[in-house]
Amino acid sequence: MRVEGVGIMVLMVALACFGNAPVDAQNPKEMTPELQKLREALDKYQDPIVAVHDGYLSTVGCIEFPVAGTEGQLPYAAGGMGVHFLNMGLIGKALDSLQPQVLIYEPVGDSLQLVAAEWFVPTQVSRARPTLFGRPFDGPMEGHHPVMPEALHHWDLHVWLWKPNPAGMFSPTNPALQCPARAYSFQDKAPLVVAP
């Protein structure tokens, strides 16, 4: 057997073993046991219909921020946020690490794939910056128009549990997520920072 043949066989074995590695293998330092437990608890929402049955309602629009945030805005990396499914019944309640207020999906072909979870706290509920998973929330910021009123000032924390994020697991945006060129895709600018 020639050396090239051995190299190809080694590559094929490596791809077979590691080609479908789960997200937690991509960021082993960030995927704590607490985040692994969260991911397992939320895996049922891979089917967005299950999310709707549990009170998460779609905002319909896929949100993308093509330009990074600048002075006076949140320091978002250029990237997508996806389609938000918001559970209004969880807004204003005490934070629960296993019950995010928002589930985030990426449109892929004719389906939606669960990519992230978001905890959302209006500034009317908390003037102090919340923390979860040892991380401070982003904000306070104005609402993300057009899927929510700009006057809805809030804090939020994103966790990309199902899609690798080059900007980091806790980044609000994901440069690897692009909204399709369709009627319900919106390009926005990073939200303005506001007083709590």
Residue with token string 């440069």: 175
Residue with token string 């706290």: 121
The DSSP H or E segment spanning 106 is strand 102-108
Confidence of residue 146 (pLDDT cuts 50, 70, 90): confident
CA atoms of 133 and 149, how far apart (whole Å): 28
Span 3-41, pLDDT tens digits: 444 333 333 333 233 333 334 334 556 789 999 999 999
Provide the whole-model pTM.
Answer: 0.84
Domain ranges of the chain: 24-187
For the segment 52-70, the average pLDDT, to the nearest whole number, is 95
Alpha-carbon distance values, 96 to 20, 33, 56, 132, 157 (Å): 31, 16, 16, 9, 13
Cβ-based neighbours of 135, under 8 Å, separated by 6 or more? 157, 170
